[in-house]
Amino acid sequence: MSDKSGPLEGLDPKVAQDLEARLALASREDTARGLFFNGVVGAVRALGGDVAVERCLAASGEKKFTDFFNYPVASFLRLSYAAAQLMGPQFGGFDGALRRMGVQATTDFLSSTAGKTLLLLAADSPKRLLGNLHAGYRAAVSYGERGVNWTGEKSGVFFMKRDFMPPPYHEGTLQAVIEAVGGKQVQVHGRQTGPLDTEYTLSWQ
């Protein structure tokens, strides 16, 4: 789990410092479903092939992932940061790659049984889906608290407390959530409010 070989060696110093700070706050009880890992691996394979996948797996400290098994979030952090470094040139930089991974995570989750249930309950309403999203996170990860404060019929502030992924990743997840039920002209902007706490202002048409 402490392997820092491969892509992680070349991280921008500020990015590396951010990663280390997040890893320091993670415990063995903080886990995420394998389907999120596999989404990242699939994106890396599509862009960089098997060699790139092996580099990212080496950074994660894991060899493979089963969708509905739980794996340490520390491994997901290392995998995601390694993948974002590799995919950055194709997605407008490190943050752009994280955002793309967030979109993929939503796509994969909404195709799962728990995700399909959320979509059914939402009945094509972005507001209803966002209001129930905390339940989806509980089915997918073991950590954190999430909720939304509405500022209008099509706007609000989604908050995440003790969530390990950086803001660009969840900008991607939340945008994809809203678009999945018909939201248009979606705007999502994250602002970190604590070491693992973030607020996301969001709106759609």
Q: What are phi and psi of 64, to 5 degrees?
A: -160, 170
CATH of the domain at 189: 3.90.1520.10
Asked if 12 and 99 sit in the same domain, the reply is yes
Q: Specify the residue for token string 């509980």.
A: 138
pLDDT more than 90, % of the chain: 91
Asked if 87 and 128 sit in the same domain, the reply is no
pLDDT-derived band at 178 (thresholds 50, 70, 90) equals very high
Q: Which of 108, 131, 156 is the last residue of a domain?
A: 108
Q: Please tell me the pTM assigned to this model.
A: 0.92
- On average, the pLDDT of the chain sits at 93
Asked if 189 and 156 sit in the same domain, the reply is yes
Q: Is residue 1 part of a domain?
A: no
Asked if 50 and 93 sit in the same domain, the reply is yes
pLDDT more than 70, % of the chain: 97
Q: Which of 73, 90, 108 is the last residue of a domain?
A: 108
Helix (H) or strand (E) segment spanning residue 199: strand 197-203
Q: Let me know how many helices (H) and strands (E) the chain has, helices first.
A: 7, 6
Range of the domain at 16: 6-108
Asked if 119 and 165 sit in the same domain, the reply is yes
Q: Is residue 45 part of a domain?
A: yes
The number of distinct structural domains making up the chain is 2
Is residue 10 scored above 80 in pLDDT?
no
Asked if 153 and 191 sit in the same domain, the reply is yes
The CA–CA distances, whole Å, from 35 to 32, 70, 141, 181, 199 equal 8, 9, 11, 21, 25
